[in-house]
Amino acid sequence: MITAIVFIEAEVSSISETAEQIAEIPGVSEVYSVTGDLDLIAMVRVRSHEDLAEVVPDRINKVPGVLSTHTQIAFRALSKHDLEDAFSIGLD
């Protein structure tokens, strides 16, 4: 499974509508409205790079209101439990 984090700049007047349309795209598991330089962050989970190529440039980028995207691909997922174990020094 490939997990990608897609940073999205959207037209300010249609952020909610844009987010709703992106959330309906197969492969998009979540869409967050965020503060800062970006407007939305979409979590994409697909089986292959070919699927990712269909979701981001062929679907997300074509949603009305999307101005630009920047995609990051995750190497691995770590849960809170995994992170606590990784930084533990063995003291209970």
Q: pLDDT, tens digit, for every residue of 36-60?
A: 999 999 999 999 999 999 999 999 9
Q: What's this model's pTM, rounded to 2 decimal places?
A: 0.83
Predicted local distance difference test score (pLDDT) of residue 90: 58
Predicted local distance difference test score (pLDDT) of residue 77: 78
CB contact at 8 A, 19 and 33: yes
In a domain, 23, yes or no: yes
Q: Which two tokens stand for residue 3?
A: 């997990």
Predicted local distance difference test score (pLDDT) of residue 27: 97
Predicted local distance difference test score (pLDDT) of residue 91: 56
Number of domains in the chain: 1
The rounded distance, in Å, linking the Cα atoms of 84 and 43 is: 23
What domain range is 66 assigned to? 2-74
**Residues in the chain where the model's pLDDT stays below 70:** 79-92
Specify the CATH number for the domain of residue 16: 3.30.70.920
In a domain, 84, yes or no: no
In a domain, 26, yes or no: yes
Predicted local distance difference test score (pLDDT) of residue 76: 83
